[in-house]
Structure 1
Amino acid sequence: MEKEKSKWIVVAFLVSFVLLFVKFYSYSLTNSTAILTDALESIVNVVAAGFASYSIYLSSRPKDDNHPYGHGKIEFFSAGVEGTLIILAGIFIIFQAINNFFDPRELDQLPIGIALIGISGLINGMLGFVLQKKGVELKSLTIEASGKHLMTDAITSLVLILGVAIIYFTSLYYLDSVISILFSLYIIYSGYALVRRSVGGLMDEADPSSVEAIVGLLNNTRKPNWIDIHNLRVQQYGSDRHIDLHLTLPYYLDLNQVHDEVQGVEKVLEEDWPGMMEVFIHADPCIPENCCHYCQLTACPVRKAPITVKIEWTVANMSKNQKHYHDSV
């Protein structure tokens, strides 16, 4: 998996490096600030792809004494750096565009510039689509972020072509600065989205989609002995995942039986995840006077009350640090 991640990041780096020269050549032909906007974003693409390549390498390293949870969080940091670079590029372009607005320049060879930007945008769009798909498949935020960035670049290139075409046919050269500012605002917003997601990952912000997937999996594989699961927490480290949960079991089980039930939950979770999965389970004994009415173990030899309800496991009640009987009494 790590080799495939590295392969796609290298492809992104090489393509971005080539397109960087294509876009700056287009700017040198046209003197268009709008095209310069696209070219400067390509610098961000190259720097980000280089940093992403290093983050993929680092995240693949095994755990060590200083990093007991591995190195996967570097991918969140990588996405944050990429987002920050995008924001800085957008701010720089706005200042450049404002300056050119008050001193508009005549633009040259716009048809050639439009063609070059169009080809670049098409290549970025196709590569970005593939990288987003691979990022989700390989559970890599770095690859997914690179793909989204390239898709954003492709969309801005398409709109840029339309804007430059309007300038070409109307000779309203001040529109070059207006288009640049609009593009910059969009670029800054996309950079903010990457930084926001990066900070969320570094702060171990809950990922609702991950928790929902795990809750659904546990519901589908639920065993009668698994009386209750609560205090469920999920942390993502690159393509690796760490899960903590509390499992309530019949109090009369011996240590070997408890171990087997814990392993059963671990196996369900580990087999469903393609990357590295680490599961920590704390086993709790049931409390008959509180648990019997929702315990689904029909052959329980020490039952003190009939089954009156089956509590559905949801994200809300499995995430709480308390047994489910609090929700049902």
Structure 2
Amino acid sequence: MGAKLNNLQPKKKAILIALCISILLMLAKFVAYFITHSNAILTDAAESIVNVLASSFAFYSIYLATVPKDTNHPYGHGKVEYFSAFLEGALITIAGVIIIFKSGYDLIYPKPILKLFEGAAIIGFTGFINMLVGYYLINTGKQQNSITLEADGKHLLTDAVTSAGLVVGVIMIKLTGMYWLDGVISILLGVYIIYNGYKLTRRSVGGLMDESDIELVKDIIDCMQKNRRAPWIDVHNLRAQQYGADLHIDCHFTLPYYFDLNHVHQEISAIDHIINGNAKRKTELFIHADPCLPACCNYCHMKACPVRSEPFSDEIKWTIENATKNQKHFDQ
């Protein structure tokens, strides 16, 4: 429980900073809109409302993710972070759709735009701040294995990119006098916002559906292969699931059939120690021990095996292709 609380502090600090800054920047963007009446600037201001809502829910999800396991949630509450990222992606997408419709209307029924340089200066400043906070959230999210912080950080970087594009567009409008560009720029930014919303929702849905993280599984298998011990004849049916910052691994290990239960327990504990010693996050393992068969002898490293039926010929290296299949390696 103490470790959970300690892990909460960097996440809580990061998201609180993001929330407070998002509120201030939202107010600044609406000030820019009211002095310019620019639809493109309104686009950026509207997305800031999403920033505030997303950061608010992200704070709650980070708190909930650290709540200990209970009877109703035996794997913990970590998956709420995926739901938080999904909600943020959905809000971003909705904002993008509304922006496109609003901009299309203003292309047909244009209105005067005022004080563009002043508005551009405010938007440029807010974009720069969002870029700094975005990188801070992404780095903290990677360190703490928090998809919520990463999602919020990427959202703020998206906001910074749209702000930069907006500043360039507003300056072009002022210099050329082509005020219809205001609506066109807004539509383009709306499309970009929708695309980033889709990417966020796609990743979060993958996490909620326990979609396999290929790179993560490869890292786990490489770790086992590098620290392989003679009694570990093969590993198969390996699966990995992430619940917030925690990782859960299921797999089958083939061990010599003549090992007693104490010896089997020692080997499984050694596997657990190696994985948690090399992993960047807390990992919970569920290992099923399989007994070896005579057909395993040709790739078994046990030198003093009392029941060997044929000599060792060659090691079968563990890869994502054989370790994830639900069969012993000699069945391939």
Q: Which category of TM-score, normalised to the shorter sequence, fits these structures?
A: over 0.9
Q: Which moved more, 1:297-306 or 1:221-230?
A: 297-306
What is the aligned partner in structure 1 of residue 234 from structure 2? 228
- Superposed, 1:40-119 pairs within 5 Å as 40-119=46-125
Letter in 1 for 2:311: P
Cα deviation, residue 274, structure 1: 4.5
Q: Which runs of 5+ in 1 are unaligned?
A: none
C-alpha distance in structure 2 between counterparts of 1:274 and 1:179, whole Å: 42
Q: C-alpha displacement at 1:264, in angstroms?
A: 0.6
Q: Please give the alpha-carbon distance, in whole angstroms, between the structure 1 residues aligned to 2:312 and 2:48.
A: 63
- The whole-number CA distance in structure 1 between the counterparts of 2:280 and 2:317 is 27
Aligned-residue offset at 1:169: 0.3
Measure the CA separation in 2 of the matches of 1:236 and 1:60. Answer: 14
Q: CA deviation at 1:298?
A: 2.5
Counterpart of 1:305 in structure 2 is 310
Alignment of 1:278-297 (within 5 A): 278-288=284-294, 290-297=295-302
Equivalent in the alignment of 1:322: 327
Partner of 1:131: 137
Structure 1 segment 128-167 matched on structure 2, within 5 A: 128-167=134-173
Q: Which residue of 2 aligns with 1:170?
A: 176
Tell me which of 179, 184, 187 is aligned to 1:181.
187
1:292 is paired with a residue of what secondary structure?
helix
Whole-angstrom distance in 1 between the partners of 2:218 and 2:152: 26
Q: Distance in 1 between matches of 2:70 and 2:221?
A: 31
Give yes or no for contact 2:16–2:59 (8 Å, CA) kept in 1.
yes
* Cross-structure match for 1:199: 205
Percent of matched pairs sharing the same residue = 52
Distance 2:315 2:243 in 1: 34
1:8-31 per-position Cα deviation (integer Å, ceiling 9, x unaligned): 011110010100000010011111
The Cα offsets for residues 182-216 of structure 1, whole Å up to 9 and x where unpaired, read as 00011001001111111111111101121111111
- The answer to whether 1:25 aligns with 2:31 is yes
Give 1:273 shift: 3.1
Tell me the TM-score normalised to structure 1 length. Answer: 0.97
Q: Secondary structure at the match of 2:299?
A: coil
Q: Residue 26 of structure 1: SS of its match in structure 2?
A: helix
CA distance in 1, matches of 2:321, 2:139: 30
Residue aligning to 2:3: none
8 Å Cα contact 2:10-2:140 kept in structure 1: no
Equivalent position of 2:4 in the other structure: none
SS at match of 1:293: helix
The range that moved more, 274-283 or 132-141, is: 274-283
TM-score using structure 2 length: 0.96
Q: Which runs of 5+ in 2 are unaligned?
A: 1-6
